[in-house]
């Protein structure tokens, strides 16, 4: 990426527990995630002239079991994950934590969503 071509792009993510694939310009640098008018969004610094590559993300709700593992987890419990009920098993995704966002849905319920990039 050259400095002259860089710009920030926004990508909408689903507001629920899921895996998502996003086509982004190659070399895109993830900046942050946030809540924009009730929508979970991700911002990235991109070179719009670069070719594209597919990136994979996980959106996880607080309290739901997940099969993700971060680099920090590898030091304490290699290849293991724990769900909200204390059960454990082998991990499915090695990931990098991006951020946590709170989103209020209709009826006033509050969702706390955690976004990871699957490596």
The residue with tokens 């099969």 is 67
Position 19 confidence tier, pLDDT thresholds 50, 70, 90: confident
- H or E element, residue 20: strand 18-25
Position 15 confidence tier, pLDDT thresholds 50, 70, 90: confident
What pTM value is reported for the model? 0.74
Please report, for the chain, the start and end positions of each structural domain, with discontinuous segments joined by +.
3-64+94-118
Q: Are 71 and 119 in contact, with CB atoms under 8 Å apart?
A: no
Position 93 confidence tier, pLDDT thresholds 50, 70, 90: low
> How much of the chain exceeds pLDDT 70, in percent?
70
Q: Transcribe 84-109 into DSSP letters.
A: TTS-EE--SEEEEEEEEEEEEPGGG-
- Judged by DSSP in three states, 111 sits in strand
For the four alpha carbons of 103, 104, 106 and 109, in that order, the dihedral sign comes to positive
Position 74 confidence tier, pLDDT thresholds 50, 70, 90: very low
Q: Are 88 and 81 in contact, with CB atoms under 8 Å apart?
A: yes
């Amino acid at each position: 990426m050259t400095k002259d071509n860089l710009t920030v792009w926004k990508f909408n993510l689903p507001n629920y527990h899921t895996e998502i694939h996003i086509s982004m310009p190659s070399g895109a640098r993830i900046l942050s995630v946030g809540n924009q008018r009730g929508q979970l969004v991700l911002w990235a610094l991109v070179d719009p002239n670069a070719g594209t590559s597919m990136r994979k993300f996980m959106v996880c709700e607080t309290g739901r079991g997940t099969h993700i593992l971060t680099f920090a987890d590898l030091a304490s419990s290699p290849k293991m994950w724990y769900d909200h009920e204390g059960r454990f098993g082998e991990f499915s995704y090695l990931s990098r934590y991006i951020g946590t966002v709170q989103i209020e849905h209709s009826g006033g319920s509050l969702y706390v969503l955690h976004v990871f990039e699957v490596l």
